[in-house]
Amino acid sequence: MINQNLIHTFTQNGISIALDVHSGAVHVLDPLSLALVEAMARLDMPLPPQCPDSLARELGYPEADVREAWEELYSLYEAGTLFSPDDYAPFASKMVPSPVKAMCLHVAHDCNLRCAYCFAGTGAYHGGRSAMPIETGKRAIDYLIHHSAGRRNLEVDFFGGEPLLGFPLVREVVAYARSLEKEHNKRFRFTITTNGVLLDDEKIDFINREMHNVVLSLDGRPEVNDRVRRRVDGSGCYADVLPKFQKLVEQRRKSENPQYYVRGTFTRYNLDFAEDVLHFYRAGFDQVSVEPVVAPADTPYSLTEEHLPAIYAEYERLAKILLDIRGKGEWLNFFHFMVDLEQGPCAIKRLRGCGCGNEYVAVTPDGDVYPCHQFVGLDGWKMGSIWDLSLDETKKADFARATVYDKPECQKCWAKFYCSGGCNANNLQYGGSIRTPNRISCELEKKRVECAIMIKAAEALV
């Protein structure tokens, strides 16, 4: 199609949809208007106000109906919500480095689990196992304040390894950061990602009081989880962790920080991962994210091209399951099916995504600074040190410029404003450059966006 970069059409769950790429408008189409939109995409722009006679005769529908549908579609075209031109590109040239506003604090390069697929080398990040000293944590907060310039709202994620291995540091750093808020006119928001093994009443109380969001790592059904998420002695962790997560969430719903999600990973071992989402739902969790493993193709659990059709089908099945649940007046949120058709992220976020290496950095137990947690330990990607407040401005500017218009594969992709160029770390590890998207990740993202839009359409049509 001549104008295939301007719209994306698809049919799912019996609903035909046209996404206008640059306006974000979503149109639900009947079979005639779907055929007509796809025919319009082959015409030269600008479109004529009246349907060309040859098209009206040859589309295979009554000529009067075709002309009527043309008028409707042409009105959308005139309104700037169909075949709208790309006016995001000028924003790409405004991509200057931003103040640092978010930090991933590696409380421990160690873990009490040995998950098979762990990108962090089971917590050690391919180096020695270590814990962050409390003084390092405090200096990291100083570093964040120093590099945040005029930004008031700052975010710190306690990460690992397993951050609860360094729980005293977490408490001290939260108190230290809070003590600096007034003096520096900052407001900190804390989050934590935990495997739950070390959770107890004291830690649950602290997390629910101080953490704006909490990520609870578990993979789903017990046999799925315990196949890959194992302790050092090889035993599974599901039976121990699930009740702790249930207790945390039950109490959290009554707290001032109700946000949480249970976050699992699916591999080739559980291509029926919708069952794991349902398992979480039946266990009392209504905020769920189950995400595809990203791993070298030669690992026994990796997802490869041959798995794509099965994953597509499972995503579509999961979308229908969500509709069924919501149709009964209940609620289940699946994070990768979230889409905001009314506003969504600002233009800058759409073009640049997560902000790693620019407005977001990770700090190791030694105080080294990396673009994000997934870059930690990769040769050549250290960006600075908290000890001398250094930050490689050349690298920072390069990340700031890494927009969807700076990534050749992304420029013509209809989904570029939803994925914002993919994960730079995955791009580097599997494509050799932060500007080379990982094809499998792209294909899965596109399917998820289609599912998310279909859910919105189905709910609107009820």
CA distance 56 to 248: 62
Count CA atoms within 13 Å of residue 182 on its CB side. 2
> Is the CB of 41 or the CB of 274 nearer to other proteins?
41
- Are the C-beta atoms of 212 and 191 separated by less than 8 Å? yes
Query: Is residue 364 close enough to count as binding other proteins by CB under 8 A?
Result: no
> Is the CB of 91 or the CB of 301 nearer to other proteins?
91
Token match 């995503």: residue?
A: 315
- Binds other proteins (CB under 8 A): choice among 10, 13, 25, 272: 25
Give helix 439-461 / helix 308-327 axis angle, nearest 10°: 30
> Is the CB of 82 or the CB of 423 nearer to other proteins?
82
- Are the C-beta atoms of 288 and 231 separated by less than 8 Å? no
Scanning 18-26, 94-102, 276-284, 377-385 for contacts with other proteins by CB under 8 A, the matching segment is 18-26
66-85: contacts with other proteins (CB under 8 A): 68-69, 72-73, 76, 80-81, 84
Cα-flanking dihedrals φ and ψ of residue 140, to 5°?
A: -65, -40
Structure tokens at 19: 């996404």
**What element of type H or E holds 21?**
none
- Binds other proteins (CB under 8 A): choice among 256, 342, 379, 388: 342
138-177: contacts with other proteins (CB under 8 A): none
> Is the CB of 30 or the CB of 78 nearer to other proteins?
30
Work out how close the CB of 82 gets to other proteins at its nearest, in angstroms, rounded to a whole number: 9
Query: Is residue 8 close enough to count as binding other proteins by CB under 8 A?
Result: no
> Is the CB of 34 or the CB of 288 nearer to other proteins?
34
- Binds other proteins (CB under 8 A): choice among 12, 33, 267, 441: 33
Sheet containing 261-266: which strands, arranged edge to edge?
A: 333-334, 287-292, 261-266, 211-217, 187-194, 153-159, 102-106, 360-363, 368-370, 384-385, 390-391
Query: Is residue 348 close enough to count as binding other proteins by CB under 8 A?
Result: no
- Are the C-beta atoms of 107 and 137 separated by less than 8 Å? yes
Query: Is residue 32 close enough to count as binding other proteins by CB under 8 A?
Result: yes
Query: Is residue 403 close enough to count as binding other proteins by CB under 8 A?
Result: no
Query: Is residue 23 close enough to count as binding other proteins by CB under 8 A?
Result: yes
Scanning 116-124, 312-320, 326-334, 453-461 for contacts with other proteins by CB under 8 A, the matching segment is 453-461
Cα 179 to the center of its chain, rounded Å: 32
Total residues at interface with other proteins (CB under 8 A)? 27
Work out how close the CB of 37 gets to other proteins at its nearest, in angstroms, rounded to a whole number: 9
Q: Assign 136 to helix, strand or coil.
A: helix
Query: Is residue 323 close enough to count as binding other proteins by CB under 8 A?
Result: no
Scanning 29-37, 255-263, 315-323, 330-338 for contacts with other proteins by CB under 8 A, the matching segment is 29-37
- Are the C-beta atoms of 213 and 260 separated by less than 8 Å? yes
How far, CA to CA in Å, does 299 sit from each of 33, 49, 276, 406, 442? Answer: 46, 56, 22, 31, 20
Would you tell me which residues interact with other proteins (CB under 8 A)?
22-30, 32-33, 68-69, 72-73, 76, 80-81, 84, 87, 341-342, 346, 456-457, 460-461
